[in-house]
Amino acid sequence: MPDNKRILITGHNGYIGSVMAPWFMDQGYDVVGLDTGYFAPCTLVPDVMRIPTINKDVRDITARDLDGYDAVIHLAALSNDPIGNLNEGWTREINGQGTIRLAAAAKQAGIGRFIFSSSCIMYGMSDAAVVDETAPLAPRTEYARSKADAEAALSQMADDGFSPTSCRNGTIYGLSPRMRFDTVLNNLMGNAFTTGQVVIHSDGTPWRPVVHVQDVARAFQTVLEAPRELIHNQAFNTGADELNHQIRDLGQIVAETVPGCTLAIVPQPGADQRTYKADFAKFRRTFPDFAFWWTARDGAEELRAAFASSGLTHEQFTDKRFTRLNWLRHLLDSGLIDDALRWTTPAMRVA
Ligand SMILES: NC(=O)c1ccc[n+]([C@@H]2O[C@H](COP(=O)([O-])OP(=O)(O)OC[C@H]3O[C@@H](n4cnc5c(N)ncnc54)[C@H](O)[C@@H]3O)[C@@H](O)[C@H]2O)c1
């Protein structure tokens, strides 16, 4: 029986959460999800199980919502740079202030463990050497800043009764019921499968740490179950050194996975040449028994098989449901959410 048994997972209705919440249920946890449901209908494959849900915005959380939990895993966020660039205030409020509000409520409710889904993106992207957790943070976007600010605030809240841990993920790939095609490997695979081509618009040299969504769920479980002294007020780059890949290397893996696929590296002026390589020694040292099960090649093969069995079309691949920015724009344009990203019709929320 797990120690921290009753857990609240925010953002359980998103890409990672739709894999992580069932994973924790399977592991014997009593899981409740909390989500405002922006992407609830954006499913590529069916949900594997139904998760008891609190339908609420993290900006409205109070300590009463958090009564009776042993731990909070906080995934809910606006989850990339393009959304942050569309309106910086949304990302500041939801990712930054929303996280602080949730953590304060958790602390007030006497919850001892708080795991924050952070990002390696906060190191900024440069030609600098490999970045470990002691590297100075250089967030260059509102999204990255929101993660850095939230981590700093969580750290301030840490005390004998409240242990926040920040898991700094690389870019995540792999199959999820609420698929995203706006992350690198998922995008390359979707394009390769539906067009027979992988086209890389930079020179392909930039580095990205990638990690499979199921390994992220397992890593969070390991952090949750670790003795307090190992994780109290700590940040971990969550991944493994061999999971740092150059984009052209990912392109090659994809081209080799999809039969008949061609790879073209077409550097364009102004192409995204941002690069970063993460050092994962601290994670390895702290959790020596944890093994990342998935390689990028295994993940590409998983996606190929899933696309083949569902008959993924190019129309589906490019559908707004699978690109977070496009779906939010759709919700805004159709008046379903207002310019504060609040639902205008309560019935549209997740049941
Ligand atoms: N996917 C990645 O590659 C990646 C990498 C590093 C970090 N992360 C972080 O992991 C977390 C989950 O990422 P994801 O890829 O599953 O994103 P996602 O966009 O698929 O899911 C985010 C979920 O949060 C919910 N949410 C957003 N704003 C909310 C609010 N105000 N109140 C309640 N719920 C709200 C959304 O409805 C959605 O279900 C995020 O914090 C993200 O920043 C993701």
For residue range 27-58, list pLDDT tens digits in order.
999 999 999 999 999 999 999 899 999 999 99
96 close to 146: Cβ distance less than 8 angstroms: yes
Ligand 1 binding pocket mutation candidate from 54, 79, 327 (most atoms within 8 A of CB): 79
Which whole-number Å values give the CA distances from 200 to 205, 263, 264, in the listed order?
Answer: 10, 8, 6
For ligand 1, is residue 172 a contact (CB within 6 Å)? yes
Res. 350: pLDDT tops 60:
no
β-strands 71-74, 6-10 pairing = parallel
Residue with the bigger pLDDT between 149 and 346: it is 149
CB 185 near ligand 1, within 6 Å: no
Q: Give the phi and the psi of residue 263 in degrees, each rounded to 5.
A: -115, 125
Q: Is 163 a pocket residue for ligand 1 (Cβ < 6 Å)?
A: no
Q: Is the pLDDT at 128 greater than 70, yes or no? A: no
Kindly state the DSSP code that residue 135 receives in the 8-state scheme: S
What number does the ligand 1 atom closest to the CA of 173 have? 3
Task: Give distance in angstroms: CA of 77 to centre of ligand 1.
Answer: 4
**Res 80 pLDDT > 90:** no
For the segment 77-106, the average pLDDT, to the nearest whole number, is 92
H or E element in which residue 240 lies: none
Q: How far is the CA of 13 from the centre of ligand 1 (A)?
A: 9
In this prediction, residue 143 carries a pLDDT of 92
**pLDDT tens digits, one per residue of 193-242:** 999 999 998 888 888 999 999 999 999 999 999 999 999 999 999 999 99
Q: Please report the pLDDT score of residue 326 as a whole number.
A: 96
Per CATH, which fold does 6-174+211-243+276-294+329-348 belong to? Rossmann fold (3.40.50)
Residue 215 Cα to ligand 1 midpoint, Å, equals 17
Which residues, 6+ apart, have CB-to-CB distance to 194 below 8 Å?
307, 312, 313, 314, 316, 317
Sorted by where each begins, the domain ranges of the chain are 6-174+211-243+276-294+329-348
**Side-chain-side CA neighbours of residue 180 (13 Å):** 22
Q: 37 in ligand 1 pocket by Cβ < 6 Å? A: yes
140-186 pLDDT tens trace? 889 999 999 999 999 999 999 999 999 999 999 999 999 999 999 99
Q: How far is the CA of 172 from the centre of ligand 1 (A)?
A: 12
**3 state DSSP class of 331:** helix
Ligand 1 atom 26: residue of nearest CA: 76
The amino acid at residue 344 is T
| pLDDT the model gives residue 309 | 95
Cα distance between the two ends of the chain: 30
| Spatial contact of 254 and 198, defined as CB atoms under 8 Å apart | yes
The pLDDT, as a whole number, for residue 184 is 93
Q: Report which protein residue has its CA nearest ligand 1's atom 42.
A: 79
Q: What is the value of pTM for the model shown?
A: 0.96
Token pair of 181, please?
């095609």
- Structure tokens that stand for 109 in this block: 């409710």
Residue 338's alpha-carbon distances to 36, 162, 343, in angstroms, are: 14, 35, 6
Q: Is the distance from the beta carbon of residue 58 to the nearest atom of ligand 1 less than 6 Å? A: yes
User: Do strands 207-212 and 244-246 pair parallel, antiparallel, or not at all (unpaired)?
Assistant: antiparallel
Q: What is the Cα–Cα distance from 177 to 19, expressed in whole angstroms? A: 7
Determine what percent of the chain is predicted with pLDDT higher than 70: 95
Q: Mutation test of ligand 1: which of 12, 15, 66 has the most ligand atoms closer than 8 Å to its C-beta?
A: 15
- Does residue 14 have its Cβ closer than 6 Å to ligand 1? yes
